[in-house]
Chains A and B, each alone.
Chain A
Amino acid sequence: MRRIRSIVTMLGALPFIGGMSPVFGAPACADLENKKPELRLEYLQGQKSLLDRNCVLYAIEQLGNDHYAPAIKTLAGYLDYRKPDPPNFGSPTQPLIRGHSEWSGSIYPAGTALAQIGKPAIPQLVEVIAAASTSDLVRNTAGDVVFAIYRENPADGIAVLVEAAHKRSDPMDSLRVMDQARRQAGRCTQQGRNDCENAVLK
Chain B
Amino acid sequence: MTVTTAANTPPGVYTINVSGTIPGQNPVSTNVSLTVSSTPGAPVTITNSPSSSTFWVDGVAYAGNASFVPQSGGDTLTVTQTQPPPTGRGDHYQFSPDGGVTTQAAEVPPPGQPGGNGCPWTCSNGSCGSRVPVGPPQPAPRIQNVTDASGDNPAVLYPGVPVQITVNGSNFGGATGYLNFCRPGGSPCDFTSNGGLSSRIISWNPYQIVATVTLPTDAPTGGWLVYVSAMFWISGTDWLNPSMGNMNVTIPPQVSGPIGVALNGSASFAVTITPGNMDPVTVTLSTTSGTGSATFADGTTSQTIYESQSLTVMGKVVSSTANNITISTSIGGNPFGSAQFSVVSVTISLNATQGGQPAGDDSAKGVWLPTVLSGGPLGAQININAGGVTRCAIGVELVGTVTPSNYSGTITLQRNFLGGTGYIGSGSPTNFPAQPDNSNIEFEVTTPSAAGHVYDLDAPNINPNTLVSRARYNFQEYALLGVPADPPNNPPQVGSGFPYYARMSCGTDVNGNPVFNNAVNGDNQAGGGVTLLTWNLQ
Are A101 and B389 neighbours in the complex by a CB distance under 8 Å? no
- With a cutoff of 8 Å between Cβ atoms, the chain A residues found around residue B428 in the complex are 11-12, 14
Are B463 and A106 neighbours in the complex by a CB distance under 8 Å? no
Measured in the bound complex, the distance between the Cα atoms of B435 and A64 in whole Å is 23
Interchain Cβ contacts under 8 Å between A and B, 23 examples: A7-B417, A14-B467, A15-B466, A17-B463, A19-B388, A19-B389, A21-B387, A97-B462, A98-B420, A98-B473, A99-B391, A99-B461, A102-B371, A106-B385, A107-B387, A116-B441, A144-B386, A147-B366, A147-B370, A187-B370, A189-B365, A189-B366, A192-B366
- With a cutoff of 8 Å between Cβ atoms, the chain B residues found around residue A19 in the complex are 387-389
Measured in the bound complex, the distance between the Cα atoms of B370 and A25 in whole Å is 25
- With a cutoff of 8 Å between Cβ atoms, the chain B residues found around residue A116 in the complex are 441
Among B35-43, B114-122, B188-196, B452-460, the stretch in contact with A:
B452-460
- With a cutoff of 8 Å between Cβ atoms, the chain A residues found around residue B442 in the complex are 103, 105, 112, 115, 148, 151
Query: C-beta contact mask, B426-448 vs A, less than 8 Å → 1, else 0?
Result: 00101111011111111100000
- With a cutoff of 8 Å between Cβ atoms, the chain B residues found around residue A34 in the complex are 486
Are B459 and A101 neighbours in the complex by a CB distance under 8 Å? yes
Q: Which residue of A lies closest to B461 (CB)?
A: A99
Closest chain-A Cβ to B364's Cβ sits at a distance in Å of 7
Measured in the bound complex, the distance between the Cα atoms of B375 and A137 in whole Å is 27
- With a cutoff of 8 Å between Cβ atoms, the chain B residues found around residue A9 in the complex are 422, 430-432
Main SS of chain A's interface residues?
loop
Q: Is A201 an interface residue (CB 8 A)?
A: no
Q: Which 9 A-B pairs have the closest CB atoms?
A: A151-B366, A96-B422, A152-B363, A102-B385, A187-B370, A19-B389, A101-B459, A3-B436, A5-B437
Are B463 and A96 neighbours in the complex by a CB distance under 8 Å? yes
Residues of chain A in range 63-94 having any CB-CB distance to chain B below 8 Å: 64-65
Closest chain-B Cβ to A117's Cβ sits at a distance in Å of 12
Measured in the bound complex, the distance between the Cα atoms of B473 and A115 in whole Å is 30
Measured in the bound complex, the distance between the Cα atoms of B420 and A154 in whole Å is 36
Residues of chain A in range 1-36 having any CB-CB distance to chain B below 8 Å: 1-5, 7, 9-12, 14-15, 17-21, 25-26, 33-34
Closest chain-A Cβ to B330's Cβ sits at a distance in Å of 37
Known contacts A98-B420, A116-B441, A148-B442: A103-B364 contact under CB 8 Å: no
- With a cutoff of 8 Å between Cβ atoms, the chain A residues found around residue B438 in the complex are 2-5
Q: Is B383 an interface residue (CB 8 A)?
A: yes
- With a cutoff of 8 Å between Cβ atoms, the chain A residues found around residue B345 in the complex are none
Q: Which residue of B lies closest to A65 (CB)?
A: B483
- With a cutoff of 8 Å between Cβ atoms, the chain B residues found around residue A119 in the complex are none
Known contacts A96-B422, A101-B440: A151-B463 contact under CB 8 Å: no
- With a cutoff of 8 Å between Cβ atoms, the chain B residues found around residue A15 in the complex are 465-466
**Interface residues, chain B, with chain A CB atoms under 8 Å away:** 363-371, 383, 385-389, 391, 393, 417, 420, 422, 424, 428, 430-433, 435-443, 457-467, 469, 471, 473, 483-486, 508, 512
Most buried by A among B367, B389, B420: B367
Contact residue among B420, B431, B458, B463 (Cβ-Cβ distance under 8 Å from A100): B458
Closest chain-B Cβ to A158's Cβ sits at a distance in Å of 12
Residues of chain A in range 90-139 having any CB-CB distance to chain B below 8 Å: 95-107, 112, 115-116
Closest chain-A Cβ to B279's Cβ sits at a distance in Å of 37
Known contacts A1-B484, A101-B368, A102-B371: A20-B473 contact under CB 8 Å: no
Are B383 and A101 neighbours in the complex by a CB distance under 8 Å? yes
Given contacts A7-B417, A12-B428, A105-B442, could you give 6 more A-B pairs where the C-beta distance is less than 8 Å? A3-B435, A20-B389, A97-B391, A99-B462, A103-B367, A187-B370
Known contacts A1-B484, A65-B483, A189-B365: A100-B439 contact under CB 8 Å: yes
**Interface residues, chain A, with chain B CB atoms under 8 Å away:** 1-5, 7, 9-12, 14-15, 17-21, 25-26, 33-34, 64-65, 95-107, 112, 115-116, 144, 147-148, 150-154, 187-189, 192
Q: Which residue of A lies closest to B363 (CB)?
A: A152
Contact residue among A11, A95, A107, A189 (Cβ-Cβ distance under 8 Å from B369): A189
Q: Which residue of B lies closest to A106 (CB)?
A: B440
Known contacts A3-B438, A96-B463, A102-B385: A11-B371 contact under CB 8 Å: no
Closest chain-B Cβ to A143's Cβ sits at a distance in Å of 12
Closest chain-A Cβ to B531's Cβ sits at a distance in Å of 14
Closest chain-A Cβ to B142's Cβ sits at a distance in Å of 57
- With a cutoff of 8 Å between Cβ atoms, the chain A residues found around residue B486 in the complex are 1, 33-34
- With a cutoff of 8 Å between Cβ atoms, the chain A residues found around residue B469 in the complex are 95-96
- With a cutoff of 8 Å between Cβ atoms, the chain A residues found around residue B368 in the complex are 101, 103
Are B435 and A5 neighbours in the complex by a CB distance under 8 Å? yes
Are A5 and B430 neighbours in the complex by a CB distance under 8 Å? no
Known contacts A98-B432, A98-B462, A101-B443: A11-B422 contact under CB 8 Å: yes
Measured in the bound complex, the distance between the Cα atoms of B442 and A107 in whole Å is 13
- With a cutoff of 8 Å between Cβ atoms, the chain B residues found around residue A107 in the complex are 385-387
Measured in the bound complex, the distance between the Cα atoms of B392 and A20 in whole Å is 13
Known contacts A3-B438, A10-B430, A106-B386: A101-B371 contact under CB 8 Å: yes
Most buried by A among B388, B440, B458: B440
Closest chain-B Cβ to A35's Cβ sits at a distance in Å of 11
Measured in the bound complex, the distance between the Cα atoms of B484 and A51 in whole Å is 26
Measured in the bound complex, the distance between the Cα atoms of B358 and A152 in whole Å is 13
Measured in the bound complex, the distance between the Cα atoms of B120 and A84 in whole Å is 94
Are B386 and A104 neighbours in the complex by a CB distance under 8 Å? yes
Closest chain-A Cβ to B424's Cβ sits at a distance in Å of 5
Are A98 and B471 neighbours in the complex by a CB distance under 8 Å? yes
Measured in the bound complex, the distance between the Cα atoms of B461 and A21 in whole Å is 13
- With a cutoff of 8 Å between Cβ atoms, the chain A residues found around residue B388 in the complex are 19
Measured in the bound complex, the distance between the Cα atoms of B427 and A169 in whole Å is 62
- With a cutoff of 8 Å between Cβ atoms, the chain B residues found around residue A18 in the complex are 389, 463
Contact residue among B371, B385, B422 (Cβ-Cβ distance under 8 Å from A21): B385
Contact residue among A1, A7, A102 (Cβ-Cβ distance under 8 Å from B433): A7
Closest chain-A Cβ to B144's Cβ sits at a distance in Å of 53
Are B465 and A101 neighbours in the complex by a CB distance under 8 Å? no
Are B432 and A103 neighbours in the complex by a CB distance under 8 Å? no
Are B435 and A25 neighbours in the complex by a CB distance under 8 Å? yes
- With a cutoff of 8 Å between Cβ atoms, the chain A residues found around residue B512 in the complex are 17
- With a cutoff of 8 Å between Cβ atoms, the chain A residues found around residue B391 in the complex are 20, 97, 99
Are A151 and B441 neighbours in the complex by a CB distance under 8 Å? no
Closest chain-A Cβ to B419's Cβ sits at a distance in Å of 10
Q: Which residue of A lies closest to B396 (CB)?
A: A101
Known contacts A21-B386, A21-B387, A105-B440: A96-B461 contact under CB 8 Å: no
Closest chain-B Cβ to A80's Cβ sits at a distance in Å of 12
